[in-house]
Amino acid sequence: MFDLSGRPLIEAIIEDINQQPSWRVESARAEAYYDGRQLEPEVVSVMEERGQPVIIVNLMQPAINGVLGNEAKTRRDAIVQADDEKGTEVSEGLNEKLNEHSRLAMVDRAVSDAYGRQVKAGLGWVEVRRNTDPFGEDYVAEEVDWREIHWDWASKRPDLKDARWACRERWFDEDTAKLTFPKHKELIENVFSDWEELNTNEGIDELSPDLLGCYNEQDASNLDRHDWFSDERKQVRVVHLFKRVYEQGVVLISDNLVVKFERNNSQHMNMVLFGGARLEKRSYVVMRELWYIGMHMVHDGYSRYPHNEFPWVPFWGYREGDTRKPYGLAKAMMPAQDEYNFRRSVLTWILKARRVIMDDDATDMSNEDVRAEVAKPDGVIILNAKRRNLETQTFKIDAETHIASQQFTIMQEAKGLIQDVAGVYPSFLGQEGDGVKSGIAIASLVEQGSVTLSELNDNYRFARQKVYELLLAMIVEDIGDKPMQVVVNRNDSAPTKTIKLNEVVGDGSNINNQVALTKSHVVLADIQSTAGYRAQAQDRLVAIAQSLPEQAQLALLPDIIELSDLPRKHERVQEIKQAMGLPVSLDDVSDELRQKIEAQQKKQAELEQLSMKERQLAIAKQEAELLESQQRAGKYEADSQLAGVKAVDLMTQIQQKEQQMSFAGDDRVKQAAMEIDQLFGQMPH
């Protein structure tokens, strides 16, 4: 925790930043290695002086690219889920709005760029904010350079919920600063001119109280001007700071909902008066937002965001246990990469270089000429005929090629270490490993590569979900209590439906699907949504279908089409279902197909109606024939039928009397028994 001790906040923040462990140089070096800048200028100069070839073979980049490609392959959609069944429809509507705005804000691109920084440098950032451009989209999600973000180093949580502050610094030109802060135009002009027109008593007397306070603050500050102003580029450092402070206030508590109570909010008052909500005085954390131009604070107020979070989401790679310094995969690869480059350079140098051993009078040529001729495949060296030593060998060319194989072996080991130390296997990069031919074995190695990157990917999924949570919070606030209709399942095979958010019922006293009072959260889908995953699932489904009978294969055909990337695939699925006689939803088909299906349904209904009439006529005919046969029957049969009818009627009366007898008293039982006997006596024998 930084200590103000009566100092300006910006001074305490800068001092806290300067005392943090140094990690940014290492992260910058890791990114430079990925980009191929793997040798320092001093090393290059030494190699050139000794004639050693400067060779850089960037083996880190394809290994890291394989990890980055896996992120794009296994990307998952975000889903809004309600905390209870009452908010199911609201969550469906919010899910549709979240997917729409995340697509327009290019969340996937921002998250992917941050993941690249996470893997290479150890830390990436994504900022989620409202768009200030009136002609742009409502929200913006963009990757932010880790060099611009600073945070409270005492924080331990990956989401920085325990961090007291975080800030982003950028360098603005004078015109940009004036457009961004139009109310402080005069201050900006004086900052850029270093108050040159006011460094006199007359100029100071003409200052407004606010400007005079800024002048005195800068004059008394312990910060050097070069800490926040660049004289070379004529730019000022603008700091956007968020800090958490504790406050006491009244909160409204109802079921799972806890919000800050607002007396002027009619919904809050209704919940207290009629909804059974209660009010409590609590201490809680609020976020404050500050802006600094150089060392001058120009804004201090409550955060403009509805969430109590920083607008920047960190994508952590790995962190050291004691210092908490972030680092990525590149850090472990760099020593092996240096070893490979060095051995490659030495090997090339050995195969190219020649050592010349000669007396000083062995030739009349200069050393440079001798060196040049030895380096040529067809070089010519003329020995001195008058040299002192004519009998022994006075000129010898030596090539130490016997150590080249050793250098090559070490170089190959370093090449393998680049992937091994990162846990990235050749099969993970699409390469064929030694002795690995089986598809199952290759899939197992790819899966093992994913397991070794589990911590990295867990941090990524956590941060990605956080990005969607910040975006959803702004969407919910902007919807507010405005009635809105949202069509869901437009790009799904499920039937489309319209959900009414904040629907006013009756006289307005009741509101259905109230967004502000619905508690929901964001989760990442269990099923991947990428084209690669769909293609893989489609191949598996086709393989299963091939082993089934023909009728069962037809049943799987709609699911196979649904997993493809064909245009109008949803309509194709409905056409196949309609041709197979399966139920079809008219809401998910084109107008042409809908008219065709409706015409077929109408024709089918007419045929069924005609068939019904034919059956009714046949039944009527049978009834007429039966009646005629009954009329032709003899009198005896008619009397027998009449007697049978009477007998049935008498038996019914007897059963009724027996039932009455079970509930009657003794006298009524006797009377009922007599009546039953009389009824039995009346029955025909």
Q: Which residues pair with 76 in a beta bridge?
A: 528
Q: In 305-382, which residue ranges form alpha helices assigned H by DSSP?
A: 329-352, 367-375
* The 3-state secondary structure of 132-191, one letter per residue: CCCCCCCEEEEEECHHHEEECCCCCCCCCCCCCEEEEEEEECHHHHHHHCHHHHHHHHHH
Residue pair 433/445 in contact by the 8 Å Cβ criterion: yes
pLDDT > 90 in the chain, percent: 30
Cα 507 to Cα 13, 266, 281, 529, 676, distances in angstroms: 54, 15, 34, 44, 66
Helix (H, G, I), strand (E, B) or coil at 50: helix
Res 289: pLDDT: 96
Share of the chain above pLDDT 70, in %: 74
Residue 123: phi and psi, rounded to 5, are: -160, 130
pLDDT of the residue at 432: 57
pLDDT in the model for residue 524 = 65
Residue 561: pLDDT over 80:
no
The first and second tokens of residue 73, run together, are 């392959």
pLDDT at residue number 22? 92
Among 620, 645, 641, which Cα is nearest to 630's?
641
SS3 string, 431-443, reads: CCCCCCCCHHHHH
Q: pLDDT higher for 391 or 333?
A: 333
Q: Between 157 and 196, name the one with better pLDDT.
A: 157
Q: Rounded to an integer, what distance in angstroms lies between the CA atom of residue 682 and that of residue 685? A: 9
- Residue 471, judged by CB atoms within 10 A of its CB (0-12, 13-18, 19+), counts as buried
Most confident range, picked from 280-294, 437-451, 569-583, 606-620: 280-294
Tell me the C-alpha distance between 542 and 40, whole Å. Answer: 54
The pLDDT value recorded for residue 618 is 78
State mean pLDDT over 152-178: 94
Q: Are 401 and 351 in contact (CB under 8 A)?
A: yes
Specify the length of the chain in residues: 685
Secondary structure in 3-state letters for 209-249: HHHHHHHHHHHHCCCCHHHCEECCCCEEEEEEEEEEEEEEE
Instruction: Please report which confidence band the pLDDT of residue 195 belongs to, taking 50, 70 and 90 as the band edges.
Output: confident
Beta bridge partner(s), residue 503: 512
Please report where in the chains the tokens 């020593």 appear, as a residue: 335
Residue-wise pLDDT for 23-57, tens only, equals: 999 999 999 999 999 999 999 998 888 888 899 99
Query: Would you call 284 helix, strand, or coil by DSSP?
Result: strand
Angle subtended at Cα 89 by Cα 83 and Cα 95, rounded to the nearest 5 degrees: 80
pLDDT confidence band for 180 (50 / 70 / 90): very high
Least confident of 193-197, 266-270, 283-287, 555-559: 555-559
User: 201 or 352, which is more confident?
Assistant: 352
Which residues does residue 296 pair with via DSSP β-bridges, in sequence order?
293
Q: Which residues contact 21 (CB under 8 A, 6 or more apart)?
A: 153, 323, 324, 325
Residues 23/28/31/35 CA torsion (nearest 10 deg): -160
Average pLDDT, the chain: 80
Per the CB < 8 A criterion, the answer to whether 578 and 601 are in contact is no
- pLDDT, tens digit, 9 for 90 and up, residues 200-232: 655 566 667 788 888 888 888 888 888 888 888
Beta partners for residue 239, in sequence order: 169, 292
pLDDT of residue 682: 44
Helices 569-579 and 591-631: crossing angle in degrees, nearest 10, is 20
The confidence score (pLDDT) of residue 315 equals 97
Residue 659 pLDDT? 57
Question: Which tens digit of pLDDT belongs to each residue from 594-604?
Answer: 667 677 777 77
Report if pTM > 0.75.
Answer: no
Q: 59-92 pLDDT, tens per residue?
A: 999 999 988 988 887 888 888 888 777 788 888 8
What's the per-residue H, E or C state across 69-133?
HHHHHCCEEEEEEECCHHHHHHHHHHHHHHHHHHHHCCHHHHHHHHHHHHHHCCEEEEEEEECCC
Task: Report the 10 Å Cβ neighbour count for 305.
Answer: 19
Domain parsing of the chain, residue ranges: 164-309, 531-589, 643-682
DSSP 195: T
The tokens of 296 are what? 């001058």
**500 versus 639: which is more confidently predicted?**
500
pLDDT at 167 over 90: yes
**Amino acid symbol at 291:** W
Position 369 scores a pLDDT of 86
pLDDT in tens, 426-480: 656 655 555 555 555 555 555 555 677 889 999 999 999 999 999 999 999 999 8
For residue 132, is pLDDT > 60? yes
Q: Are 343 and 414 spatial neighbours (Cβ–Cβ below 8 Å)?
A: yes
Contact 517, 73 (CB under 8 A): no
Residues 285-319 pLDDT 10s: 999 999 999 889 999 999 999 998 999 999 999 99
In the three-class reduction of DSSP (H, G, I as helix; E, B as strand; rest coil), residue 21 is classed as: coil
Cα dihedral across residues 487, 488, 491, 495: positive or negative: negative
Q: Does the pLDDT of residue 528 top 70, yes or no?
A: no
Q: Of the segments 278-282, 322-326, 386-390, which one has the largest average pLDDT value?
A: 322-326
Distance, in Å, from the CA atom of 529 to the CA atom of 250, rounded to the nearest integer, reads 44
Q: 169: which strand partners? A: 239
Per-residue pLDDT, 57: 92
Q: Is residue 292 within 8 Å of 239, Cβ to Cβ? A: yes
Q: Provide Rg for the chain, Cα atoms.
A: 43
pLDDT at residue 316, as a whole number: 96
- Nearest Cα residue to 64 out of 31, 37, 40, 24: 31
Residue 164 neighbours by CB distance under 10 Å: 17
Per-residue confidence at 331, pLDDT binned at 50, 70, 90? very high
Of 470 and 279, more confident: 470
